[in-house]
Amino acid sequence: MRLDNKVALITGSAVGIGAAIAERFLEAGAAVAVFDINAEGASQMARRLSVKGRALSIAGDVAKEEDVCAALARTIAEFGVLDILVNNAGIVLEAPVGNLTSEVWDRQLAVDLKGVFLFSKHAFPHLRGRGGAIVNVSSVHALVSYEGHAAYDAAKAGLLGLTRTLALEYGREGIRVNAICPGYVSTPMTDEWLAAQPDPAATLKQVLGFHPLGRIGTPRDIAEAALFLASDAASFISGTSLVVDGAMTIAGR
């Protein structure tokens, strides 16, 4: 699974899953644009990657159309082309429906769903004719709903519907569009969630018990799946979702 001479833009790639994807793509031969709302984090990540290959940092908000267009323009200006888009940026805003404000709902869907729409729409002219690939990072929340996550569940489920429609519309131009549905993954976001629990150690033990494989995922696990879907090894795969959760969902969790 190689990406030699390819250019990839990865959103939400300063830390966690996005950072692992950027690193793995660079190892596979791609030049990468690290896009994140955290400007300093994106800059640090790009500097670290630049030791091994070609990397560019771009700061912006996926929910702002002007930031999306500017990011794509900078990527093209720096690398000349775009071959792969990974829509990874995401947030988790927890609240039961009765306490869920319109502001929280709007922000959740703006980042996790609207941002994917905006990047996919504006990346299309650059991807067409190049056999391009889009990889959307959804979640097992798209398949199994959880109390207190109405906005997140809706956004991630909507992302699978958007992935299928993009695969239909963009397939005519040779562009493949797929999604990944990660389960629990060891990231700074997960660490913050665990730390906020009344008994973090007990919660971690419970979470580990959800997984028949006996562990939670690593960012590298998701990066390998993204590399597969972005590479020519998946040249006849489009419009589908790959669940990467250590069998958690089929275990009924």
pTM for the full model?
Answer: 0.95
Q: What is the distance between the alpha carbons of residues 46 and 43, in angstroms, rounded to a whole number?
A: 5
Average pLDDT of the segment spanning 111-132: 96
- pLDDT, position 64: 98
pLDDT at 94 over 90: no
Q: What is the mean pLDDT of the chain?
A: 96
27-50 pLDDT per residue, tens? 999 999 999 999 999 999 999 999
197-234 pLDDT per residue, tens? 999 999 999 989 889 999 999 999 999 999 999 999 99
Percent of the chain scoring above 90 in pLDDT = 89
pLDDT at 120 over 80: yes
**Domains of the chain by residue range:** 7-184+219-246
What are the φ/ψ torsions at residue 231 (nearest 5 degrees)? -90, 170
Q: What is the distance between the alpha carbons of residues 75 and 85, in angstroms, rounded to a whole number?
A: 11
CATH fourth-level superfamily of 7-184+219-246:
NAD(P)-binding Rossmann-like Domain (3.40.50.720)
**Is 184 part of the annotated catalytic residue set?**
no
Task: Please report which confidence band the pLDDT of residue 193 belongs to, taking 50, 70 and 90 as the band edges.
Answer: confident
Average pLDDT of the segment spanning 61-80: 98
